[in-house]
Amino acid sequence: MAIRNIVTKESEQLRKKCRTVVSFDEKLHILLDDMYDTMVSLDGVGIAAPQVGILKNVIVVDLNDGERLELINPLISFTDGTCQELEGCLSCPYQWGLVTRPKDIELSYVDRHNKHKTLKANGFLARVIQHEVDHLKGVLFIDIVDKFLNDDEVDEYMKQREK
């Protein structure tokens, strides 16, 4: 396992469409483990393969609840509702903004052993998954942000949310 370098928003690599995973081999498992370690080292809750320079449809999510979710070849099949929440991105350091996305989602994907799975998600998990799926299409949250917030506004937003 190893921590890999994060590709930041200036790179063209983050603008490419990722490829479908077809080999569920040791190389994929190492990529998944490295993505997880890299994400945790940066206090992230989600990471997509292009963020470590690999243009494949691979996502790792961990909302600090101890459940590590590995989504390979994810496909969002259903969305419902909308909500606006604060987002940031490991590839866009020091940037925060309000983004509107569907509230509830359903998706299909395969795990590291190519086993087919489905998942229903809402709330923060649905948001993180959609943010990461966007990465696989070359889309960053700064492309679809409603409004950027500065540090003071982020503090205020967090305070309001705790109330």
Q: Is 49 near Co ion (CB under 5 A)?
A: no
The nearest distance, CB 116 to Co ion, in angstroms, is 26
Give the residue with the Cβ less far from Co ion, 109 or 141.
141
**Residues sharing a CB contact under 8 Å with residue 109, sequence separation 6 or more, in sequence order:** 71, 72, 73, 74, 75, 116, 117, 118, 119
Residue 153 a catalytic site member: no
The residue number with the shortest CB distance to Co ion is 89
Binding-residue pattern over the window 58 to 97 for Co ion, x denoting contact by CB under 5 A: -------------------------------x--------
Q: CB neighbours (10 Å) of residue 119?
A: 16
Question: Considering 132, 153, 156, 162, which one is annotated as catalytic?
Answer: 132
> Applying CB under 5 A, what is the total number of residues that bind Co ion?
1
Per-residue burial over 140-152, b if 16 or more Cβ lie within 10 Å, else e, is bbbeebeeebeee
